[in-house]
Structure 1
């Protein structure tokens, strides 16, 4: 099988005009406009949360910065789909755009995971884990996540044959056919460690959070509703933005391993546009992230309102006098 794959060239899957390219371009345009607006709108309040020594603000700030770095590369992808999967800007820009795309995806996944674990600890073990839920540990954790994710995806720049994907007839970006063997192994790791493991952690965290909150008699219905909304929102992000991509990524990788050359090429040709659609869906996480975690957080939502009114400082002093118990402090950050 390996020998047959090696004999295949880039004509295994050929570029051809397809109306789906216009649909994909529309998704990226929508994600660019809304993602840029929402992230810039919420960046100021998130910074205020960091200045207020809010651990949640650290994770949100890193999530927002990651989203913005990816959003700034979206015009390149819009142009790519406008030209029916032809990259006319050179391999260097393709490498940079792809690096930020994949890094943002897994930074988002792991930062969402960090936020969920932090919320779980705040609700289930508020006193026992107080020392570990500090600004210092939050920044260290974000640094470790960023270095690990970016280092891993830096390898893609050297293993995905990007230079070979650029010639006079097939000028693609991160669409190399047949799949290089190192990418087959890397894709399996991405599905397992980059998606399935975080999804398992998220499920366990929100199962504990919901159980603890539902049993509490001291919480109002509004707080419980906010927790349920956060849980549903995270699961929707994973189900809509990330699950389809990783499901097809796993399917493509297994097809590469089990199929012979001709069957594999036919399979990849049929899966090319569905797979591109899952990539476009994953880009919507940059739009949903700020909406989900900013608008369901009382502190950030209040900062947004007060930034428009111009009296943030006085209102903050009144708010501090109201919060008198540790439980209320923790639940206000869920």
Structure 2
């Protein structure tokens, strides 16, 4: 059941949904555990790719850092939802986690867009773009994405004078209803630039990549199917994670201009549960990012196998219980006298 109260005379609309709190907690707990695990597991091999001058590794590392920052805010939101949407951690922490949460959502989106463009150019125009695919340029692009998104977020907060996102009357954090006219307009711009534009760019890139690979005679049918499935998977999961939130955000903003601020409270009550669930759904992108972009890469996958094989070999050398036969075989592997498991394709 939804328990909502409104005070239209004060231009406020208070919405409380206890069932949504339990559902949101479940989604965030799953995203936190799996996202933290997958990103930490893959960050070592990604750094190895950067050391080998792999430009794609820079984008993947920047994406992992963004996802980890995004993930580290989740325990605070889990506590918030478990406390029935009552914020008791202070205004400063509310401002900080909200800023990190929403900023890194769009940092992730634009980095995914950069990865798609880089991969598309490298496959479709390999010789023409070779001079521009430098590590220095990749670092600059990633830095510009971080700075641009955070600067725009700060500008919006400043223009709307949202220095206090904590609602004093209801003690809610970043949940003030209804929205203002300026915020509604900004939301429409955010949907267009922050979601629709990257979606179109990524769709074009992942349409060109399979088309180019399909025309190549030196690529096997199995590899062509893999490229096609990966392209469809990236667009599908990107849409699954981000489309519901941005569609409902657009609907809420259009409804605000249609019915006005005073009459929008009832609509906000009806949209609150699906909207907050769609926002939580977007957090699952931090789980699938390393799976799609890291594990799907042959180079990174091989680095992961070598990385954790070295760790296992070090543990075997340090263990006093290791049989002399294992020690002897390990030395033979290092000398190249026997093939090591996992290194032979």
Give me the TM-score of the superposition, normalised by structure 2.
0.84
Q: Is 2:70–2:105's contact at 8 Å kept on the other side of the alignment?
A: no
Q: Identify if the C-alpha distance between structure 1 residues 266 and 45 changes in structure 2 by more than 3 Å, giving closer, same or farther.
A: same
Other-structure match for 1:130 = 130
Deviation of residue 202 (structure 1)?
0.7
Q: Is 1:161–1:180's contact at 8 Å kept on the other side of the alignment?
A: no
Other-structure match for 2:144 = 144
- 1:191-202 aligned within 5 A: 191-202=191-202
- Tell me, in whole angstroms, the C-alpha distance in 1 between the residues paired with 2:165 and 2:112: 35
Other-structure match for 1:40 = 40
Other-structure match for 1:190 = 190
Deviation of residue 165 (structure 1)?
4.2
- 1:176-325 aligned within 5 A: 176-310=176-310
- Tell me, in whole angstroms, the C-alpha distance in 2 between the residues paired with 1:22 and 1:14: 15
Deviation of residue 23 (structure 1)?
1.1
Other-structure match for 2:11 = 9
Deviation of residue 162 (structure 1)?
5.9
Q: Which runs of 5+ in 2 are unaligned?
A: 1-6, 314-333, 335-345
Other-structure match for 2:164 = 163
Q: Identify if the C-alpha distance between structure 1 residues 53 and 240 changes in structure 2 by more than 3 Å, giving closer, same or farther.
A: same
Deviation of residue 240 (structure 1)?
1.0
Q: Is 2:167–2:176's contact at 8 Å kept on the other side of the alignment?
A: no
Q: Which runs of 5+ in 1 are unaligned?
A: 315-334
> Does the residue aligned with 2:76 lie in a helix, a strand or coil?
helix
- 1:16-95 aligned within 5 A: 17-95=17-95
Which sits farther off after the overlay, 53-62 or 83-92?
A: 83-92
Q: Can you list the C-alpha shifts for 1:104-142, whole angstroms capped at 9, x where unaligned?
A: 111111111111111111111000110111111111111
- Tell me, in whole angstroms, the C-alpha distance in 2 between the residues paired with 1:57 and 1:261: 47
Deviation of residue 180 (structure 1)?
2.3
Give me the TM-score of the superposition, normalised by structure 1.
0.87
- Tell me, in whole angstroms, the C-alpha distance in 1 between the residues paired with 2:108 and 2:233: 14
When the two chains are superposed, the root-mean-square deviation of aligned CA atoms in Å is: 2.1
- Give the number of the structure with larger relative contact order, counting CA–CA contacts within 8 Å between residues 6 or more apart: 1
Q: Can you list the C-alpha shifts for 1:66-113, whole angstroms capped at 9, x where unaligned?
A: 011111111011011112222221221111111111111111111111
> Does the residue aligned with 2:263 lie in a helix, a strand or coil?
helix
Which sits farther off after the overlay, 88-97 or 302-311?
A: 302-311
Other-structure match for 2:343 = none
Q: Identify if the C-alpha distance between structure 1 residues 263 and 9 changes in structure 2 by more than 3 Å, giving closer, same or farther.
A: closer
Deviation of residue 26 (structure 1)?
0.6
> Does the residue aligned with 1:175 lie in a helix, a strand or coil?
coil
- Tell me, in whole angstroms, the C-alpha distance in 2 between the residues paired with 1:285 and 1:230: 15
Q: Is 2:165–2:174's contact at 8 Å kept on the other side of the alignment?
A: no
- Tell me, in whole angstroms, the C-alpha distance in 2 between the residues paired with 1:195 and 1:296: 24
- Tell me, in whole angstroms, the C-alpha distance in 2 between the residues paired with 1:182 and 1:116: 32
Residues paired across the two proteins, number:
307
- 1:106-125 aligned within 5 A: 106-125=106-125
Q: Is 1:187–1:253's contact at 8 Å kept on the other side of the alignment?
A: yes
Q: Is 1:160–1:180's contact at 8 Å kept on the other side of the alignment?
A: no
- Tell me, in whole angstroms, the C-alpha distance in 1 between the residues paired with 2:110 and 2:298: 23
Q: Is 2:34–2:287's contact at 8 Å kept on the other side of the alignment?
A: yes
Higher strand share: 2
Deviation of residue 155 (structure 1)?
2.9
